[in-house]
Amino acid sequence: MGKSVCAVLIDTVSIQEYIFSSNKLKENMGASYIVDNIFKEHLKSTLQKIFSIQNLNINEWKEKPGVYTIFHPDVKFEIGYIGGGNALILFKAKEKIKEFIEIFSKTLLEIAPGLKTAYSISEEFDLDEFSKSLKKLRDNLIRNKNRFFPITTIAKYGFTADCPHTDGAADFLEKDSKFISGESMAKLNMAETARNNFRDTYISKEFTNKYTFTYNIDDLTTKKGLLNYIAIVHIDGNKMGEKSGRCGSLKEIRLFSKEVEESSSEAFKKMISELIDKIEEGVVSEKSGFYLKKTLEDGKEKVILPVIPIIRAGDEVTFISDGRLGIWLAEVYLKDYINKKVLGEKLSACAGVGIFKSKYPFYRAYILTEEVLKRAKKASRGKENSSYLDFFISSRGVSGDLENILKKYFKGEEGDLHYGPYRVDNDKECNSVKNLKNIIKEFKRYPKNKLMKLREVLFEKKEMGEMFLEELKASKQIKLNNLPKSLWDNNQTPYFDAIELVDFYPEGLL
């Protein structure tokens, strides 16, 4: 037996379900902030209350990853690490674990009704056998999550109305005189704080007086009367659980958590910075079809950025943007993120981009976007440190899961019309994002009616498409020199996606 202490591992359960349980974006943002804050202020206040501490530095583990204070005679607890929706807390006395769980759980019931947490306890957590001890804690955590289903909202009774946003009891009065659930109320109360936090964190100081974020989806779209689309972007690091599991010491996992958080935060700041640069340069402007709305904030008129951050936690990112910016923003983020290293190992990640009409049910759109991300993740498996991006455009009312939609609506006589997922980190591959953009750039010069005809013939036999291309060559209306030589490649066509994206990828960003 080495250096043993008592330990508790905390996990936030079904975070996506909690954040996106409502179709109201304002609630989604507030919920995200609540989740992000439980291991900051609320964990801090709980520990301060139990141990009667006035000032607790909640980030000491991050600032001094190689220093372990738990064995000091005067120290009664220590934060092991915080990251990936988990927190490991070390205690000297096992009695304090029960008290901690009771107070922390009660705090969460009050400030985050509906949010579920799970706990795993070890009374002999051996820091000299850290990897083995943590694995036991994690295995037990999985069992606990499958065994216990805590009730974290007020139960509904026969005389209680249903909340219009969630399936909870409508027992709180909202500002607009609607009754909603306590869960919805808690999320709405945090929405403005969340928006301000995103603004202060990700917009550089030189531009905070000029630009801001919104929590209103209508602020992202263009002028009234035009066809408006939004993009939902979901990005996730590859094999992060596996990489975390390889950490052999508390110091390593602290450094891992810290470096992952910093890499993601820096990539997000870079993405917002590049968007502002494009607005300042006039690339994203009214001239190019973007109608950036303005709002009064703190007595100043500010431009609303056409992007809404929702989740930015560890290696996971979710945001909404104008439909024409989704793929570009995802690529900007990925290219910065994958150039970073964690514990000396290069990072990789995948992105799913769903493009939908602005009135499309938000939760349904998010679920489809998650499926798009899964396709990108699947493509990255078996290829070391590969990063992929995939997309889906819903221009019609479709139902069912993504695979069935692609089979039903995106299949021609010769094979799959969708050519993705697209590789971000290797321009030499046929299905690279760079090649996709080159085709889009070429198609931007073509008459719209010719592109729509080409799109049509892709559903038919290969001969029909080749015949149409020959007609175009003969008419000398269109040059085909810069396009792929063949319409079809292994029962897939690189043409269809590019045609679909002509209106969803501004020329100045290609």
pLDDT in tens, 13-65: 878 888 887 778 889 999 999 998 899 999 999 999 999 998 899 999 999 99
Closest CA to 87 of 47, 129, 48, 51: 47
Q: What is the 3-state secondary structure (H, E, C) of 243-298?
A: HHHCCCCHHHHHHHHHHHHHHHHHHHHHHHHHHHHHHHHCCCCHHHCCCCCEEEEC
> Which range, of 151-155, 188-192, 374-378, 494-498, averages the lowest pLDDT?
151-155
Residue 226 pLDDT exceeds 60: no
**For residue 484, what are the contacts with CB-CB under 8 A and spacing of at least 6?**
430, 435, 439, 494, 495
Residue 225 pLDDT exceeds 50: no
pLDDT in tens, 162-214: 777 777 777 777 777 688 877 888 898 999 999 999 999 999 999 999 999 99
How many angstroms separate the first and last alpha carbons of the chain? 60
Dihedral sign computed on CA atoms, order 247, 252, 253, 259: negative
Instruction: State residue 223's pLDDT score.
Output: 59
Bigger pLDDT: 476 vs 313? 313
Q: Which residues pair with residue 342 across a beta bridge?
A: 345
Instruction: State residue 49's pLDDT score.
Output: 94
Rounded mean pLDDT of 380-403?
A: 86
Ranges of CATH 3.30.70.270 domains, the chain: 4-147, 203-401
- pTM value? 0.92
Q: 203-401: what CATH class?
A: alpha beta
CA distance 414 to 420: 16
pLDDT in tens, 333-373: 999 999 999 999 999 999 999 999 888 888 888 999 999 99
What is the architecture, at CATH level 2, of domain 4-147? 2-Layer Sandwich (3.30)
Dihedral sign computed on CA atoms, order 361, 362, 365, 366: negative
pLDDT band for 306, please (50, 70, 90 cuts).
very high
CA distance 346 to 202: 24
**For residue 12, what are its two tokens?**
């936030």
CA distance 359 to 369: 16
Average pLDDT, the chain: 88
| Phi, psi (degrees; rounded to nearest 5) at 246 | -85, -5
**For residue 327, what are the contacts with CB-CB under 8 A and spacing of at least 6?**
231, 353, 389, 391, 501, 504, 505
pLDDT band for 496, please (50, 70, 90 cuts).
very high
pLDDT in tens, 110-134: 888 888 899 999 999 999 999 999 9
372, 393 in Cβ contact below 8 A? no
275, 307 in Cβ contact below 8 A? yes
